[in-house]
Amino acid sequence: MTQQELQHLYWRAGFGINPNRQTSMPKNRAQVVEDLFVDSQAYTPIDIDLSYLHGIKPIDLKTFPELAEEIRKKGVKKILELNGAWVKRLMNPNELLRERMTLLWANHFVCRERNPLYVQQYNNTLRYFALGDFKAFVKAISKEAAMLRYLNGKQNRKNRPNENFARELMELFTLGEGEYSEKDIKESARAFTGYSHDFEGNFIFRKLQHDYESKLFFNRIGKHDGDDIIDIILAEKQCAQFISDKIYRYFVNPKPNKKHIDAMTEVFFKDYNIENLMRFVFLSDWFYDEENIGTKIKSPIDYVVGMAKTVPVTFEKEKDLLKIQKLLGQTLLDPPNVAGWKGDKAWIDANTIMIRLKLPSVVLNSGFIAFDEKDEFRKQFFKNTKRKRPFKTVPKWDVFEEHFKLTKTEQLQDHIIQGKINKGTLDYLKILNKSSKQAYCIQLMSIPEYQMC
């Protein structure tokens, strides 16, 4: 594999790759891809301390309002802790591809929940199934406490079916808009009646609340339950097409290529094995076409994690990482709605692009943001700071120097920037002072092309 192909693969399957790692990797594409999957075979759940919930019973929260309020306040803090734990995991993953896939599925099976126990369980379910059997994945999602609460599954009962989950299951999770009828929604909602969970987040099937009568769904009649509905949906090739299209737009190019997506669909429809689909994509020649390199706008998480991949950095206050997510428009565990973040061009507007261009100098070089007083970045970071540095960080430049010790300063752009650099930027780079790798690295991260991967 060429240097450019290797960097492209690792920006899509992860968050970039440093040159010292490249020199020790095999040149054979098949072996490089195989190593990616081997390294992600393990499953390491995120596990924050939730011991404060031990011994608490539902009746306690009803009997003691002050205890309920204390649990609620602690829960808010624990959600923030979980956010930080996830960002740290992305910055230092043991199973790189599994973590990248978890990030993808979190914006596919979108869910927002405020109970940290259920949030952690849900996040780890995404992680567990990230490269596995999609059919088992969808069934597991339908039984998750967080999803049951988010899409009103607990309120879905015999004679009073709630259609929220049934609708989103088809529209957002499996088939896409317009691929089902209102009748299909109503009938499938009946099939999911009785789904519930206990206080610890374990799935419970409440038999007395389930509708055991026959349902007509996709022209198939039977006493279908929720798992039956999912089986019927996945028997439709449209499901494989819908997921393949989303995978293509996320990993290959925001502009779909019907020929390539159709080929992916054929692979996925055979057994709905996510790993097989991803292996097919990463081994395909078209994945490495020049038209697909540097064509994706980095999500805020891609941007921040990718920066830390190049120059490892620690934040003195972890809440500053959360502030950055909010300002850039993507706060993990807090999606805008059930459809998730739109991505692509929606990541950039007049304010966020200015934040992105200035952020590297702040995070890595103790720089200031030279905006006017009305700017949102300044309002957020300089309030209550008496115009001091907006936050304190410790960049590990010694690690950066070790990673790039065999790379000449003028070659940094070949590793840090993906895709083409326009003529105006190239002319600008020529006049920059290249006496320091550190300074040049920050300057490269501060140009528009760095927003692409």
pLDDT tier for residue 369 given thresholds of 50, 70 and 90: very low
- Pair (318, 446) in one structural domain: yes
Per-residue confidence (pLDDT) for residue 371, from 0 to 100: 44
- Pair (373, 332) in one structural domain: yes
- Pair (334, 371) in one structural domain: yes
Nearest by Cα to 71 from 59, 56, 49: 56
Over range 428-440, report the average pLDDT. 90
Name the DSSP letter for residue 299.
Answer: P
Please identify which residue in the block is written with the tokens 């830390």. Answer: 308
Q: How far apart (Å, rounded) are the C-alpha atoms in residues 237 and 105?
A: 20
Stated pTM of the model: 0.95
Q: Return the H-helix or E-strand segment holding 195.
A: strand 195-197
Per-residue confidence (pLDDT) for residue 370, from 0 to 100: 44
pLDDT tier for residue 432 given thresholds of 50, 70 and 90: confident
- Strands (DSSP E) contained in 6-138 are none
Residue 447 lies in a domain: yes
- Pair (411, 324) in one structural domain: yes
Over range 112-117, report the average pLDDT. 98
Does the pLDDT of residue 372 top 90, yes or no?
Answer: no
Nearest by Cα to 394 from 290, 315, 298: 315
Q: How far apart (Å, rounded) are the C-alpha atoms in residues 189 and 216?
A: 11
Per-residue confidence (pLDDT) for residue 383, from 0 to 100: 53
CB 224 within 8 A of CB 166: no
Over range 118-138, report the average pLDDT. 98
Calculate the average pLDDT of the chain.
94
Per-residue confidence (pLDDT) for residue 376, from 0 to 100: 53
Q: How far apart (Å, rounded) are the C-alpha atoms in residues 343 and 336?
A: 12
Per-residue confidence (pLDDT) for residue 377, from 0 to 100: 52
Mean pLDDT check: name the lowest of 21-30, 38-47, 325-334, 394-403: 21-30
Query: Among the three residues 257, 273, 292, which one is the final residue of a domain in this structure?
Result: 292
Note down the domain range covering 318. 300-451
- Pair (253, 325) in one structural domain: no
- Pair (278, 312) in one structural domain: no
Number of domains present in the structure of the chain: 2
Over range 134-161, report the average pLDDT. 98
Residue 48 lies in a domain: no
Which tokens in the block code for residue 247? 């995978």
Burial of 246 (0-12, 13-18, 19+ CB in 10 A): middle
